[in-house]
Amino acid sequence: MLGPIFRPSKGPQDLYALNALTAQQTLFHTFDAPGDALALDGGGTLTPYTVAYQTWGKLNADRSNAILIFHALSGDAHVAGMHEDGRTGWWDLMVGSGRAFDTDHWFIICANVLGGCKGSTGPSSLDPVTGKAYATTFPVITIDDMVRAQRPLLRVLGIEKLHAVAGGSMGGMLALAFAQLYPETTERAIVMASAAANHAQAIAWNTIGRQAIMNDPLWREGHYYDSPEGPPKRGLSVARMIGHVTYISEGAMDQKFGRTLQALEKESFSFGVDYAVESYLAYQGNIFHQRFDANSYLYITRAIDYFDFAAKTSGDLTAAFARTRAQFCFFSYDADWLYSPERNEEMTLAARSAGREAIHHQIQAPIGHDAFLVQRDPQTELIVKFLSVA
Q: So which residues are the catalytic ones? A: 169, 336, 369
Smallest Cα–Cα separation from 376: which of 120, 176, 93, 158?
93
CB atoms within 10 A of CB 213: 25
Rounded Cα distance, 273 and 279, in Å: 6
Q: Report DSSP letters for 37-71, one per residue.
A: -EE-TTSSEE-SEEEEEEEES---TTS--EEEEE-
Rounded Cα distance, 47 and 205, in Å: 32
3-state secondary structure of 382: helix
Length of the chain: 390
CB 339 within 8 A of CB 193: yes
Q: Report DSSP letters for 258-323, one per residue.
A: TT-BSSSS--S--SS--BHHHHHHHHHHHHHHTTS-HHHHHHHHHHHHH-BTTGGGTT-HHHHHHT
The secondary structure of residue 82, as a DSSP letter, is: B
350 phi and psi angles, rounded to 5 deg: -65, -40
Give the contacts of 339 (CB within 8 A, at least 6 positions apart).
169, 172, 193, 194, 195, 202, 332, 369
